[in-house]
Amino acid sequence: MSVVVMKFGGTSVANVERIRNVAKHVKREIDAGNKVAVVVSAMSGVTNQLVGYVREASLLHDAREYDAIVATGEQVTAGLLAIVLQSMGLKARSWQGWQIPIITDDAHGVARIKDIPGEKIRQRLEEGEVAVITGFQGVEPTRNRVSTLGRGGSDTSAVALAIAVKADLCDIYTDVDGVYTTDPRIVPKAQRLQKISYEEMLEMASLGSKVMQTRSVELAMVHKMRTRVLSSFVAPDAMPAASPDNWDKLGTIICSEDEIVEQRVVSGIAYAKDEAKVTLLQIEDKPGVAASIFGPLADANINVDMIVQNLSSDGKRTDMTFTVQGSDLPKALDVLKGAHKTIGYFDVTSSTEVAKVSVIGVGMRSHAGVAAQMFKALAEKGINILAITTSEIKISVLIDAAYAELAVRTLHSLFGLAKD
């Protein structure tokens, strides 16, 4: 017997027919003797419709009201799944965030889970009841108001709940059957990874492989929650129930590095096209100038990613290039315009025609030369590198967007990730 948290996203619960399919996945687990909590998202399209109403009501809106409105989507799915499970003869009940409670901070719209008392749910699971839990939402206890965790927050709900009920495994059902070495739409020979380390997955998630929300991976890593990504579109009876014997037979297991025996140097190639590049021309080359640029951007909640400062030819003036999320570009340009006097630049140029391509692998820690190989291969294809950032297990380059697919394919072959 295992205690399993199963999470199903919007496309997996898009309508009542799909919810019935989800129920069959749940029944398979119960029939095999597992104890199951299910975390569900809103039916796909519903959250967007609710957000549309909010925007129509007022573009400037109270985040607490926004949360009260958009959280209803998950409540509907949870209730419907509980009903379908009951109709299949299973014991089930739905739980809303405030009923458990899933306690969050007061950053409405992007709240963080602070605590989930898991004993009550765990006990229900032990009694054979399926707990169907609304993802994406919680309750802020000071004002007793509904909060939401931001887009993709249901992944975080699932991992946090798995930790709270001391689950053996957290299964993230999605519309893909695992984590791939890169996007199979770009590289048909991309392979599903049987295992990936938390650290690598974190880089994959934050770099644009939108399989799981970054925070959910962080949480799984900190608490060493074994998390698996697998497809809800496989026929429920064509899959084995979760068991310690077969956890790594299906989907992709996200686990500690030391559980991965055959470690490759590079595990995957990620890319992100929603970047924007900003260049400030002829800023003064003096201490404090970086603070005058990035301080105001940080105050406006704009995340700056890559930063490149050109060498100054005369020791007085230089150019500064950095990247922000494409959606933050208009706001970033506004902030820079407002700070023109304090920064003292000559002009600003910007472009969204850029892409970030990254090579990821924990094996890079012990293997030198990955960066050199990467830069050489890109150069041979005539791809110009606009900026570089690195971490222990990742090298990212910013390139012209037109070359993104070529770069991904080149690097995927280079590091031997393709299927035979």
# residues near its own copies by CB under 8 A: 38
Nearest distance from C-beta of residue 98 to its own copies, angstroms: 7
Nearest distance from C-beta of residue 31 to its own copies, angstroms: 19
Q: Which of 2, 32, 50, 107 binds its own copies (CB under 8 A)?
A: 50
| Residue nearer to its own copies on the CB measure, 90 or 399 | 90
Q: Are the CB atoms for 134 and 74 separated by under 8 Å?
A: yes
69 touching its own copies, by CB under 8 A: yes
Bridge partners, residue 170, by sequence: 5, 227
Q: Are the CB atoms for 209 and 186 separated by under 8 Å?
A: no
| Residue nearer to its own copies on the CB measure, 77 or 267 | 77
66 touching its own copies, by CB under 8 A: yes
Instruction: For residue 226, give the nearest of 193, 196, 262 by alpha carbon.
Output: 196
Instruction: For residue 293, give the nearest of 314, 315, 324, 272 by alpha carbon.
Output: 324
| Residue nearer to its own copies on the CB measure, 66 or 247 | 66
83 touching its own copies, by CB under 8 A: yes
Q: Which of 33, 45, 99, 298 binds its own copies (CB under 8 A)?
A: 99
24 touching its own copies, by CB under 8 A: no
Footprint (CB under 8 A) of its own copies, residues 101-160: 144-146
Instruction: For residue 27, give the nearest of 36, 19, 39 by alpha carbon.
Output: 36
The beta-carbon contacts of 301-304 under 8 Å, at least 24 apart in sequence, are: 302/328, 302/331, 302/332, 302/335, 303/328
CA triple 350-358-322, angle to 5 deg: 25
190 touching its own copies, by CB under 8 A: no
CA atoms within 13 A on the CB side of 207: 28
**Peptide linkage before 101 cis (omega within 30 of 0):** yes
313 touching its own copies, by CB under 8 A: no
**Euclidean distance between CA atoms 362 and 14, whole angstroms:** 36
57 touching its own copies, by CB under 8 A: yes
1 touching its own copies, by CB under 8 A: no
CA triple 280-286-289, angle to 5 deg: 50
Q: Which of 13, 40, 80, 253 binds its own copies (CB under 8 A)?
A: 80
65 touching its own copies, by CB under 8 A: yes
Q: Which of 44, 72, 191, 263 binds its own copies (CB under 8 A)?
A: 72
Q: Which stretch binds its own copies (CB under 8 A): 29-37, 78-86, 215-223, 299-307?
A: 78-86
Q: Which stretch binds its own copies (CB under 8 A): 73-81, 248-256, 353-361, 365-373?
A: 73-81
Nearest distance from C-beta of residue 69 to its own copies, angstroms: 4
**Euclidean distance between CA atoms 199 and 254, whole angstroms:** 9
Nearest distance from C-beta of residue 206 to its own copies, angstroms: 31
| Residue nearer to its own copies on the CB measure, 44 or 390 | 44
**Euclidean distance between CA atoms 163 and 142, whole angstroms:** 24
**Euclidean distance between CA atoms 71 and 204, whole angstroms:** 28
Count other Cβ atoms within 10 Å, centred on residue 209: 22
Q: Which stretch binds its own copies (CB under 8 A): 27-35, 54-62, 210-218, 290-298?
A: 54-62
Nearest distance from C-beta of residue 172 to its own copies, angstroms: 24
Give me the helices (H) in 131-275, please: 153-164, 198-206, 214-222
| Residue nearer to its own copies on the CB measure, 60 or 261 | 60
- Token look-up 């899933």 returns 102
Q: Which residues contact its own copies (rule: CB under 8 A)?
A: 16, 19-20, 50, 53-54, 56-58, 60-62, 64-66, 68-69, 71-73, 75-76, 78-80, 82-84, 86-87, 93-94, 96, 98-99, 144-146
